[in-house]
Each structure stands twice: as structure tokens, then as C-alpha cells.
Chain A
Amino acid sequence: MNQSTAKRSAGDVMLEARGMSKRFGEHTVLQDINLSIQRSEVVCLIGPSGSGKSTLLRSLAFLENYDDGEVFVEGELLGYDRARDGRRVRSRPSRLSDVRRNMGMVFQQFNLWPHLSVVENVMEALLRVRGMKSADARRLALTTLEKVGLAEKADAWPNRLSGGQQQRVAIARSLAMSPAIMLFDEPTSALDPELVGEVLQVMRQLAEEGMTMVVVTHEMGFAAKVADRVLFLDQGHIVEQGPPTRLFRHPQSPRLAQFLGNYLERNTLFEAAPAPNHVDD
């Protein structure tokens, strides 16, 4: 049902969580998360608000330091080093950056740097991390902007762009560093409805090109069409997972059924949008 499935070679694990837990004070937000993501796999994370989707994604990027268990990025332990006495210590920032070097992330709030122009936003890491020459960085930045359809906005200021354009710049900024894994945290949730499509289109194109993607989303249509696997998270647990067709058509757990029911109800009531379980495959 999806071209990327064919490109995947078995056993090529890009991102893995083993028994990972995360607490905020007394509050356990993620509990014993086990997750393994293969090269070119597109995984969508769904779940009710507060279920821990963002925390999971952020832990996979070590923007939150998980408490128990392990996260591996392409086989390397993320965020911690093993000390000589067998305990683990926080990695130094340079080590952390090194383990994350093939990881890109796109946020709900875009997080562009408003004091730099669009092309400068994309160039910054090429200059300061890759050490590229200015002219080369600019050329690569422009090529990448072209890919998201924004080459003509290169010299604009980010805040002058529409939300959809800003998010595409943010995607280009990540892409320019040629990541192997991209994490998206509700990339379209801050957008006006008419701008959602252009961002999803870019993401879909990435998926087709074989990018490994983990996407937190409320866009059930996108999950149904693009995801290889959907994870349903509730109260810090992965309650159910599987191909979108199965999950959306035959939810096993009452919580997922209820979640999908709520979603369906909202959409049929207010938007007359196609129901999420009409998967066109």
C-alpha cells in the first residue's frame, strides 16, 4: 500500500526504545515504551491530548532526558554514556550531537529564527556544523528550499510568511542537513486548515523518497494514507499498534475505539471531511 515498504530492508533498525520511561516529578508520563523503527518506515503516533505523544517524541530526540530504559539511534545509545562502574552518565553535548547527527525534527511552532532570513535559517547549520563555505551553503540551501517549493522566498523574513510556508522552511532547514530520521510533532496543528495540505504534501513526498519518519499527528487521513504503522498511545502506554487499515477499521482496545469514535464524530459534525477509516488502498 506504500512504496516505501518495498525499499525497506529487514533488520535495519534506525531508532529503538527499550523499556523507556519518563517521569515529571511524581508523574509517570511514559511507561516501559518498547519501540523499534526500521529504515524508511513511516510511523504515526496518535492518542488523546496529554497521553504523552510529545514527550515520547522528545525523548527519542533526547530533548527530554528519559529516566529508565534506553533509546538507540542507529545502534548508538542516546543521551547517556556508560561509566566505568557500570552506571550511566549524561553524555557530553558534543557526544549527544554526534549521536543525533542523522536526526531532524520539525515542531508544531516551526521554531524558525526570526532574526535570520529564510535562506540564512537553512544555511546556519551548514555553515556552523558542516563548516561549509558560504557560497556552497547558500547553493545547497536554495536547492533544499526549491524542494519544498519556496526558493523564491529565500530572502524573505520568516515572520512575513504564512504558517504553511514557515513550516516548509523548517522542514527544509532540517532536510539540508540530510537527516536519515525525521521526527515531526504535530507539524500542522498550528496551521489554518487551508494551509495543512501543502505541508502534508511535502511530508508525503519525503515518505515516498524513503525517509524514516515518526509523526505525531491528529491528521488521521495522513496516517491512513502514508503511515506504515500507527501507534496508539494512551496514558503513557503504547496501547495498540499496527498498519493503519487494521487499527482504524478494527480497533482492538475500547480506548482506541472510543478515540476514533470521538474523532469521527468531530469531523462529521463540523467538517464533513472524509472519515478516517475510508482508507483508499
Chain B
Amino acid sequence: MFDLALLIQGLPLLLAGLWNTIWLSACGLALGFLIGIGVCSLKLSERGALRRLGGAYISVFRGIPLLIQLLFIYYLLPRLGLDVPAWVAAIAGLALCSGAYLAEILRGGLLTLPAGQVEAARLLGLSGRTILTRIELPQALRATLPALLNEVILLIKASSLISAVGLAELTRTAQNLAASSFLQLQFYLAAAVLYCVVNISLALLAGRLERRFAKGRA
């Protein structure tokens, strides 16, 4: 059931798969974050039309399974004459989807801020963008750190779905190794350990950040 030699032999492939998982998720999340800030601003806009636009985005990209979004993007782009590699479709799918969730998390964080803080900033002459990036977002991020960490971890796990567009990320690599060696448990366990290492590291990092942010609060 376990074969150390085969495991060592498969390790480079597993690590390559892990690397794909990590960088594709990281890019997807980074872009998703920007989308999230934009969509969240739309949803908090004074204009009804913009609010509805933001709401529609969230409904669509939170409502459709990530797998279908990925496949749709993967097959849609060539039809539009965009011959892009699979990793572009993968990142786009992850970004569009995580953007919807991150928008709602950030909105929750922004709504907890007393309106007076923004009024004080406006009267001092700070621009809307400065207020967002210097006053609102830093506090919203601190306030929603646990929820953000949840979303990041969920997305890293959900990124196994990008194998559907033909990318050998961690889960798909483990599947391949398991199938060719008939050592299913060994390779799935190895994948599980690698996922855990990544996600537990992230949780530790978030914990440290949280403790750092906690100083200064009465």
C-alpha cells in the first residue's frame, strides 16, 4: 500500500502540481481581490443602477458552480477569437468567482465602520479613493481577516477544479500518480498533507497579522 521509493519518485511531480495550485490560486485571488473591491464599491454606491450592477455580478458569479464557470470561460474564449492558454482561463475563472465572495466579505467589513470616520475624512478634503484605500480598506481587512482567510483556503481547495481545463495541479497530479501506481492511499495522503501544509501556514500567518492588528485597539 505504501512504497517509499515510488513516493520519492513521484515527489517532483507532486511538487510541480502543488506549485501550479499555489501560483494559479495566488494570481486568481489577487485579481479576485481587485474585482472584489470594485464590486463592493458598486454595491455601496449612491446610484441605484451601480448597486444593481454589483448585485447582479455577485448573483451570477456566486450562483454558478466554479467548474461550470471554468469550462465556460475555457470554451468561450476561443469562440471569441481569443486563443489564450489554459492557465489564463483558470486564473480568470478563479478571479471572477472569488471576486464575488470577497466583495461581500469586504462589504460586511466596511459596513461595520462608523460613518463618521468617513465624514471626518471628507471634511478634511481626502478624496474618495484615498478614503477607501487609507481609511476604509485597512480597517475592513482587519475586521474581516478570519472570513478572508476562510475564503482564501476555500479557493485554494476549489482550485482543484482547474484540472478540468487541462492543468495538472495538485489534485490531478495525485490522481495520475495514484492511477499509474495503484497506490491510491499513498498519493492522496501525500496531496492531503501538502494542502494542509499550505493552508495551515496561511492560518498561522493570519493569526500573526491578527495579533499585530490587535494592538492599538482598546
Is the pair B217, A159 in contact by a Cβ cutoff of 8 Å?
yes
Q: Binary interface profile of A, 129-152, with partner B (CB < 8 Å = 1, else 0)?
A: 100000000000000000000000
Q: Does B166 contact A (CB under 8 A)?
A: no
Q: Binary interface profile of B, 132-151, with partner A (CB < 8 Å = 1, else 0)?
A: 00110011001000000000
Query: A128's closest neighbor in chain B, by CB?
Result: B130
Q: Does B52 contact A (CB under 8 A)?
A: no
Is the pair A105, B216 in contact by a Cβ cutoff of 8 Å?
no
* Cross-interface CB contact of B125 among A63, A100, A158, A159, cutoff 8 Å: A100
Q: Does A224 contact B (CB under 8 A)?
A: no
Contacts of A158 in B (CB 8 A): 216
* Cross-interface CB contact of A125 among B119, B124, B216, cutoff 8 Å: B124
Contacts of B216 in A (CB 8 A): 114-115, 117, 157-160
Q: Identify whether the interface residues of B are mostly helix, strand, loop, or mixed.
A: helix
Contacts of B81 in A (CB 8 A): none
Instruction: Name which of A14-22, A25-33, A169-177 contacts chain B.
Output: A169-177
Query: B126's closest neighbor in chain A, by CB?
Result: A128
Contacts of B117 in A (CB 8 A): 111-113
* Cross-interface CB contact of B120 among A93, A94, A128, A170, cutoff 8 Å: A170
Query: A109's closest neighbor in chain B, by CB?
Result: B116
Q: Does A61 contact B (CB under 8 A)?
A: yes
Given contacts A114-B216, A157-B216, A159-B216, contact A100 B126 (CB under 8 A): no
Q: How far is the CB of A77 from chain B (nearest CB, A)?
A: 18
A173 to B124, CA, bound (A): 9
Q: How far is the CB of A218 from chain B (nearest CB, A)?
A: 19
Q: How far is the CB of B93 from chain A (nearest CB, A)?
A: 34
Q: Does B128 contact A (CB under 8 A)?
A: yes
* Cross-interface CB contact of A61 among B114, B123, B127, B217, cutoff 8 Å: B123
Contacts of A61 in B (CB 8 A): 123
Query: A98's closest neighbor in chain B, by CB?
Result: B125
Q: Does A97 contact B (CB under 8 A)?
A: yes
Contacts of A255 in B (CB 8 A): none
Q: Does A124 contact B (CB under 8 A)?
A: yes
Query: B213's closest neighbor in chain A, by CB?
Result: A115
* Cross-interface CB contact of A111 among B114, B134, B218, cutoff 8 Å: B114
Contacts of A105 in B (CB 8 A): 119-120, 123
Is the pair B123, A115 in contact by a Cβ cutoff of 8 Å?
no
Is the pair B122, A107 in contact by a Cβ cutoff of 8 Å?
no
Q: How far is the CB of B164 from chain A (nearest CB, A)?
A: 41
Q: How far is the CB of B133 from chain A (nearest CB, A)?
A: 10
* A-B contacts besides A113-B120, A125-B124, 15 pairs, CB < 8 Å: A97-B122, A105-B120, A105-B123, A109-B114, A113-B121, A115-B138, A115-B139, A115-B213, A117-B216, A125-B121, A128-B126, A157-B215, A157-B217, A173-B120, A177-B124
* Closest 10 pairs (CB-CB, A-B): A157-B216, A159-B218, A111-B116, A125-B124, A129-B125, A111-B120, A97-B125, A105-B123, A128-B130, A111-B117
The interface of chain A, by Cβ under 8 A from chain B, is 61, 63, 93-94, 97, 100-101, 103-105, 107, 109, 111-115, 117, 124-125, 128-129, 157-160, 170, 173-174, 177
The interface of chain B, by Cβ under 8 A from chain A, is 114, 116-117, 119-128, 130, 134-135, 138-139, 142, 213, 215-218
